[in-house]
Amino acid sequence: MWISISIVVAVVILSVVLWIVYNQLVAARESIDEALSGIDIMLKKRFDLIPRLVEIVKGYSDYESEVFQRVTELRQEQGDDMIKTEKEDAGLNLVSRSIRVNYENYPELKSDKQFLELMKELSEVEDELAMSRRYLNGTIRDYNTKIDVFPNVIVAKMFGFRERSFYEIESFEREPQKIFE
């Protein structure tokens, strides 16, 4: 009798632990997806902003068609969600940096109110994007930690939770580069 009750209690406790751990792992995984979605939103804002800047710059320089073409190409690239987002982000970083560097050559452009307002918006989007990247990497760190600690590691392996890689910039972004001359 006592053995039967002990077995039932052990099964109930084990089931509750399994249920709690599984739900924590799902919540952590969803936090990563939410953070990645936040980055996509910021990239979309930046993608919408850059062509508006390019339109303003049109009268001041000749490289704007190349910039617009590169932005369009970046939006059409296919691939794994995380990898695609990282590549798109890297490309748009370079386009954004190029606009900032090249507008220094045009004093009339630097005094254009609409251009200055868009540059301010771009700067704010870049700041939000940097915060979103840090948040994403924090959620990935938390998730990876949860799936590697005991007893979570057992549950994670049972249900196929896999470690996620951190959001990283491309190697060419680590050095200042001038794309358009």
Supply the pLDDT for residue 170. 62
Average pLDDT over every residue of 151-178: 78
Owning domain of residue 145: 2-174
pLDDT at 106 over 80: no
For residue 82, being part of any structural domain is answered with yes
User: What is the helix (H) or strand (E) element at residue 157, kind and residue range?
Assistant: helix 152-159
Note the pLDDT of residue 167: 82
Q: Does 122 reside within a domain? A: yes
Single pTM value for the model: 0.66
Q: Is the pLDDT of residue 83 over 60?
A: no
| Contact of 168 with 83, CB cutoff 8 Å | no
Distances (CA, A) of 100 to 13, 85, 94, 179: 60, 22, 10, 12
Residue 42 included in any domain: yes
109 within a domain of the structure (yes/no)? yes
Here the CATH number for the domain that contains residue 53 is: 1.20.1440.20
Please report whether residue 180 resides in a domain: no
CA distance 45 to 25: 31
Within-domain flag for 120: yes
Q: For the chain, how many structural domains are there in total?
A: 1
Q: Which residue has the higher pLDDT, 70 or 138?
A: 138
Give, in order, the Cα–Cα distances in Å from 93 to each of 116, 127, 132. 18, 12, 15
pLDDT of residue 1: 81
Q: What span, in angstroms and rounded, lies between the C-alpha atoms of 70 and 132?
A: 24
Considering the domain boundaries, does residue 179 fall inside one? no
